[in-house]
Amino acid sequence: MKKGPVVPANSSPPLAPYSPGFIAGNVLYVGGTLPIAIDGSTVAPGDVRTQTRFVLDAIESVIREAGGTMKDIVFNQIFISDLADYAAMNEVYKVYFPENPPARYCIRADLVKPEFLVEIASTVHLG
């Protein structure tokens, strides 16, 4: 069984000891992905749409590195720091999942830094 970390080139630096993704067999777990640029700065403070796009693009790069596509996502866990941003986050989200969107939940939570507006983790079935 294939098992180990998945780290695409040009990944943002982690804020803690974790891998962007971890594969076990045909299941890929994409860790909580935050709007952190490769230089460690926060992407688009105050702009949940841009942060959501950045996070979903980062998730997509982990999935591609493991040999999959966004259509392989079966579950997303979404955390937003302000429920007032829910509709704006969903505007961007539905562009990435226009048909047969994966199961998900979305909760309001305090994120690691106050300038982070959204964090998403994904479960992906490959192959």
Q: Backbone phi, then psi, for 67, in 5-degree steps?
A: 95, 15
Whether the Cβ atoms of residue 68 and residue 28 lie closer than 8 Å to each other: yes
For the chain, 127 residues long, give each residue's pLDDT as a single digit of tens: 889 999 998 888 787 888 999 999 999 999 999 999 999 999 999 999 999 999 999 999 999 999 999 999 999 999 999 999 999 999 999 999 999 999 999 999 999 999 999 999 999 999 8
Residue 31 has which token pair? 């860790």
* Domains: count for the chain: 1
Kindly report the number of other CB atoms within 10 A of residue 73's CB atom.
25
Position 52 scores a pLDDT of 98
The domain in which residue 62 lies consists of: 3-125
Position 93 scores a pLDDT of 98
Q: Is 76 helix (H, G, I), strand (E, B) or coil?
A: strand
CATH assignment of the domain containing 12: 3.30.1330.40
Residue 7 has which token pair? 């780290």
